[in-house]
Amino acid sequence: MDRPRGYTGAIVALALSGPLRRMTWRMRLAVAIFAFPVLMLVAATLYGVEAAVYVLRSEPVTGTVVQRYEWEGETIFDRGAVNYEPIFTYEMGGDTRRASVGSPHSSFDLQVGEQATIRAIPSSRGNVRLDTWQGLWFMPVILGLVGLIALAVAALFWLVIDRLFFRKDAR
């Protein structure tokens, strides 16, 4: 029999490798059930660390909106809402800079000429962030909530599966 090639071949080779071959079906099922919640919580932690590092490296400055983009949301989370992405000018280190917030959100509804506190990294000319919880902590909080809800659902699902299939003779 020829070995499969490409991504499928890599997955088959991994599945037939030593560590996975020695796993019981119960362990494999636990990995499958808890993989998503654990990965979401890891992602939330990493996004939170990244946001904390950004806050430590950045400085709050006052920015003036000089342009803004707006469009309808297209995901299941923002469908029907209008998302806004303001473009700011701000002073830092004696230079006038221009930057975007980088990612749109419905709460970023600022009119041209309006001022807001933003956070910018002094040595960078990249995107800035609004100095609000949505601008700094939205992603880690949402990923953490999704991870916690998924973990609760996975735990309930595991209890049912464990009781039905693995502990049915223990009664």
Residue with structure tokens 């939330």?
A: 44
Question: Higher pLDDT residue, 122 or 23?
Answer: 122
Distance CA 18, CA 35 (A): 20
Exposed e or buried b per residue across 67-105, where buried means at least 16 C-beta atoms within 10 angstroms of its C-beta: ebeeeeeeeeeeeeeebbbbbbebebeeeebebbbeebb
Q: Are 129 and 101 in contact (CB under 8 A)?
A: yes
Note the pLDDT tens digit of each residue in 74-130. Answer: 877 778 888 889 999 999 988 899 999 888 888 888 899 999 999 999 988 888 999
User: Closest by alpha carbon to 106, among 64, 147, 135?
Assistant: 135
Distance CA 38, CA 30 (A): 11
Question: pLDDT band for position 2 (50/70/90)?
Answer: low
- pLDDT at 3 (0 to 100): 54
The amino acid present at 82, given as its one-letter code, is: V
Domain ranges of the chain: 24-58+133-171, 59-127
**Does residue 48 have a pLDDT over 90?**
yes
* Dihedral (Cα; 98, 104, 107, 110), 10-degree rounding: 30
- pLDDT at 21 (0 to 100): 67
- pLDDT at 169 (0 to 100): 58
